[in-house]
C-alpha cells in the first residue's frame, strides 16, 4: 500500500471511530479489517485512544483530524506517551457489529475512567439480525437472530461469566487460570480457550453445545463432561438427559455466514429458523407437519419466497405471503 492509500485508510478509520464515516470510508475500513487479523486489535486501540480523549480533555476533542492522526502516531511510538495513556485508557471497549441487509452498524461501549464500575451489559440480536460482539477480554462472539447476550463491562481476575439466551458462536481468549463461563439457565459451559457454538432457544427444549476447537466442560447439576473437537452435547431441558456424539460442526456454525444447512430436519424446525432470520410470523399447524422432514440450505440474503418455492418441491404445500405474515398448509 502506497503512502497516499495509507493516509486515506487512516482518515477512513478515524472517521469510522468518530461515527461519521461515509459509505466509501466504511467499505475501506471493512476491507482493511479483512486484510489482517491484527488490524482488529489496532482498531480497538485507536478507539480506546479516542474514547480517552473524549473523557479526559475538551482540547483533544477539538483537534483537527490531521492533528489527531499526528498525535495518535506520536502516542503509539512514544514510551512516555504510552505510559501517560496507560491509566487513561483502562476502558472496557466492546465492539458490536450488526450484520443486516443494509450496511454494518457499529456500537461502542465504554466505562467511565473516573468510576471504573463493572456493570452488566446486554446485547440483543433481534429477528432478522446477526451480530458480532467483542468482549472486554478480547473474546469474539457471533450472536444469531432472536438471541441475547449479557456480560460484564469488564472482566475481573476471578470472573469471566456471561449468560446467553438463543444461539451464539464463541472464539474465547485462552486463560487456564481464569476460565470463561457461559450460563444458559441451570446449564453451564466452562471454557479455557476454544471455539464452540451454543444453541439454546426455549422452543427447542434442548441446549446444543458443539465444539470446533479446544476443550470445554459441560456442567449441569451433578453432571460433568468434557467435550472434544467434533463432538456435540445435547441437553434436553425437560428430562435433564444429556447425549454426546460426533457431529459435522460446519453444519452448526454456517449460520454466521448467513447460511443454515439442515439434513433430514423437521419442517417445524426450519419454519422456526425462517421466522427468526426474516422476522416474519409463519402460521402453520405443528401437528400437520409433525412427520415432515427435509434437507437443504437457507440463505439469508435471498428472498423468503424463493425458499418456500424450494420447500414446495420437497413437501407439497400451499402458502400465502402477506407482508410479514405467512400462512402455510400441506396440499
State yes or no: pLDDT of 214 exceeds 70.
yes
Q: How far apart, in whole angstroms, are the C-alpha atoms of residue 18 and residue 93?
A: 14
pTM of this structure: 0.66
> What pLDDT is recorded for position 65?
53
User: At residue 113, what are phi and psi to the nearest 5 degrees?
Assistant: -65, -30
> What pLDDT is recorded for position 41?
65
State yes or no: pLDDT of 88 exceeds 80.
no
Ordered domains of the chain (ranges, CATH): 1-89 (no CATH), 90-257 (2.60.120.1440), 258-330 (3.55.50.30)
Percent of the chain residues past pLDDT 70, beyond the cut: 72
Q: Which residue has the higher pLDDT, 71 or 222?
A: 222
> What pLDDT is recorded for position 203?
87
Q: What is the DSSP string of 153-201?
A: SS-BTTB-EEEEEEEEEEEPPP-SSS-EEEEETTEEEEESS-EEEEEE-
The mean pLDDT of the chain is: 77
pLDDT band for position 158 (50/70/90)?
A: low
Grid-cell match 480533555, residue found:
57
Q: How far apart, in whole angstroms, are the C-alpha atoms of residue 13 and residue 136?
A: 21
> What pLDDT is recorded for position 29?
80
Mean pLDDT of 304-319: 93
Q: Which residue has the higher pLDDT, 156 or 122?
A: 122
H or E element that contains 261? strand 259-266
Amino acid at each position: 500500500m502506497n503512502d497516499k492509500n495509507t493516509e486515506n485508510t487512516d482518515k477512513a478509520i478515524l472517521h469510522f471511530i468518530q461515527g461519521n464515516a461515509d459509505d466509501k470510508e466504511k467499505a475501506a475500513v471493512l476491507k482493511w479489517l479483512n486484510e489482517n487479523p491484527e488490524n482488529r486489535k489496532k482498531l480497538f486501540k485507536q478507539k480506546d485512544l479516542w474514547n480517552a480523549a473524549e473523557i479526559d480533555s475538551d482540547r483533544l476533542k477539538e483537534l483537527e483530524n490531521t492533528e489527531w492522526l499526528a498525535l495518535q502516531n506520536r502516542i503509539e511510538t512514544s514510551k512516555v506517551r504510552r505510559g501517560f495513556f496507560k491509566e487513561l485508557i483502562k476502558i472496557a471497549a466492546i465492539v458490536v457489529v450488526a450484520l443486516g441487509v443494509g450496511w454494518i452498524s457499529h456500537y461502542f461501549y465504554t466505562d467511565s475512567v473516573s468510576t471504573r464500575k463493572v456493570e452488566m451489559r446486554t446485547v440483543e440480536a433481534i429477528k432478522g439480525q446477526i451480530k458480532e460482539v467483542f468482549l472486554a477480554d478480547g473474546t469474539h462472539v457471533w450472536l444469531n437472530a432472536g438471541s441475547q447476550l449479557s456480560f460484564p463491562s469488564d472482566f475481573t481476575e476471578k470472573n469471566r461469566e456471561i449468560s446467553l439466551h438463543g444461539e451464539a458462536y464463541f472464539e474465547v481468549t485462552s486463560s487456564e487460570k481464569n476460565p470463561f463461563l457461559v450460563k444458559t439457565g441451570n446449564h453451564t459451559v466452562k471454557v479455557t480457550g476454544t471455539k464452540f457454538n451454543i444453541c439454546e432457544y426455549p422452543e427447542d427444549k434442548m441446549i446444543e453445545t458443539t465444539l470446533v476447537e479446544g476443550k470445554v466442560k459441560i456442567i449441569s447439576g451433578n453432571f460433568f463432561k468434557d467435550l472434544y473437537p467434533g463432538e456435540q452435547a445435547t441437553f434436553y431441558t425437560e428430562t435433564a438427559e444429556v447425549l454426546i456424539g460426533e457431529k459435522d460442526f460446519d453444519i452448526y456454525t454456517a449460520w454466521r455466514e448467513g447460511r443454515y444447512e439442515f439434513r433430514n430436519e423437521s419442517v417445524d424446525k426450519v419454519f422456526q429458523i425462517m421466522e427468526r432470520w426474516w422476522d416474519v410470523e409463519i402460521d402453520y399447524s405443528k401437528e400437520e407437519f409433525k412427520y415432515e422432514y427435509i434437507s437443504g440450505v437457507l440463505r439469508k440474503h435471498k428472498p423468503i419466497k424463493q425458499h418456500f418455492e424450494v420447500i414446495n418441491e420437497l413437501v407439497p404445500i400451499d402458502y400465502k405471503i402477506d407482508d410479514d405474515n405467512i400462512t402455510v398448509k400441506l396440499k
